[in-house]
Every structure is written in structure tokens, then in C-alpha cells.
Chain A
């Protein structure tokens, strides 16, 4: 059961970040130079793969108690940050991630930048824009893959979940050749935040020496509890602010969480 939840968590987290990275790469490719943009994607993926390849096996040699304490704490912090943003967006207190608006803004900025070649790259701006987009959006996924995988002793399974998400998103991007604005990003972020928080609570408490009633079965109860608390948060905030209203999109387009 927890292996299935592991794959779902990694798949959803990776899909959300891949949708956001795709928007940036599309902007760099269509407005500047596809070859340089795709080189940036490749370089970003190589760095992420190196992080997973180095950290994954390294974490598995750490004793399970301290590992779960640290990993649980990190996942709990990440999960609460994802949930916080998803709840604020669902309640209309924070702008939804608008891929179309971000694409237009990135394209306009990219068109006005000077074209400079460096090393073997013909357009350095397109390269760095894609590289930063893939690396920054992918870094947290790499951490989730490594920490989830090491804790469950299934780094390979976590990598498969991430690769499946990348394939789905890239496939959809190639098919429509525009930003995936219709993807329910906030719902997916809500789900990822709930799953990360659930595993963070479970592993963090175990790492600190606590024992769960029902052992692994407690994960399902914790997931239901977390989703309930988050939905309650949305309901309370909506009651305080009235119906969800559109909020202008933020100026930044590359968000870590």
C-alpha cells in the first residue's frame, strides 16, 4: 500500500513541476532557439539525475531511525508549504498558477533579451532559461524521489514514478504545442501536499521513537485526517473572504514549492 502511495506522490509532484517547467521551456524554444533551449533541458536533467544517483544510495546506508526523523521532518515542512499554498489558492487568497500568462510574460522577456553565444551554445539566454526552469522545478522532485525512495528502499520505484510523469507531460506538451493551462495544478498540489504531510507525520514520529497504533495502516488514517484538516482550512477561509475570487498572477514564475 505504501509503495503505491509512494509512486502516486512522486508521479503527482513530478507532473506538477513538469507542467511548470514545460511552460518555461516552450517560451525559450518558441521565442528564441529550440536547439539551445533543449540543450538547457538536457543539462538540467543531467544535474538532477546526478543528484538522485549520488544522494539515493548514500541515504540508504544511514540507519533507518535517524533517516526517518530527518526525512520525516523535511517532508512535513515541504508538505505543509505545498498545502498552505494550495489552500490559499483554493480559498481565493492567492493567485492560481496561470500557465498561459506565465508563457506570454516569459516569451515577451525572452524576445527582448540580447542573443549571445557561449561555449558550444548558440543562444545562451534560451539555454539558461530552460536550464534554470528544469533544475529549479525539478530539485524538489529529486529530493522527494531520493527521500521517499531511500525510506521505502525503493529508489527505483520512485524514479519510475517521476519518469512516467515526465513522459506524460512532455507527450501532452508535444501534442498540443502550448502550455498545459488546463491541468488542474492546484488540485494536484493539494494532493501532493496532503501525501507529503502524511508521510512526514508518519516517518517523523517513527524516527522520533513513537509507535503508531495499527503500524503501517495508520498511514491511511493520517491521509484522511490531513485531507480533512486541509478542506476545513479552505472552508473556513472561504467563509471569511466570501466566494473565491480571481487574484492577479504573481510576478515570479519559477516557484520552489
Chain B
């Protein structure tokens, strides 16, 4: 059980890293891009915009010690 927890913890740390909101935000942004694209609405701008928002929020939290 302890080994399984350590194994899962390693992969969580490997993929998600220090800030889980980045990983969650990327998944949400990709889903939103897919929805817009399926509606034939131009969606290329969404991920660059998401990068600005996600990175900005993450840096803001880190600079405030969060």
C-alpha cells in the first residue's frame, strides 16, 4: 500500500508538478478549444490566451507565498 502510494505520488508530481491548477487549466482549455472547433468557430487563439491566464495566476500565487 505504501509503495502504491509512493508510485502514484511520483507520477502525480511528475505530470502535475507544483501547481495543480496549471494541469487542470490546460485540460479545460483543450476541451474548450475542441468544443469551439466542433462548432466551426475559430479556436486557435484560446490556448495562447489560456497560457497568459494560467501562468499569470500561478506566478501571482507563488509570489504571494501560495
Measured CB to CB, the residues of A under 8 A from B are 69, 72-74, 76-77, 80-81, 83-85, 87-88, 91, 93-94, 139-140, 197, 200-201, 204-205, 207-213, 218, 222, 225-226, 229-230, 233, 237, 240-241, 256-257
Contacts and interface: CB of A to CB of B under 8 A. Distances in A.
7 contacts: A84-B62, A87-B55, A88-B63, A208-B34, A218-B44, A229-B52, A233-B55
A211 to B, nearest CB: 7
B36 A81 contact: no
Given A213-B44, A237-B63, A208 B37 contact: yes
Contacts of B37: 208-211
B63 A241 contact: yes
A74 B15 contact: yes
A76 B36 CA distance: 19
A209 B38 contact: yes
Given A80-B22, A233-B56, A233-B59, A69 B30 contact: yes
A257 B62 CA distance: 16
Contacts of A72: 30
A40 B59 CA distance: 37
Contacts of A209: 33-34, 37-38, 43
A88 B19 CA distance: 13
Contacts of B55: 80, 83-84, 87, 229-230, 233
B51 A77 contact: no
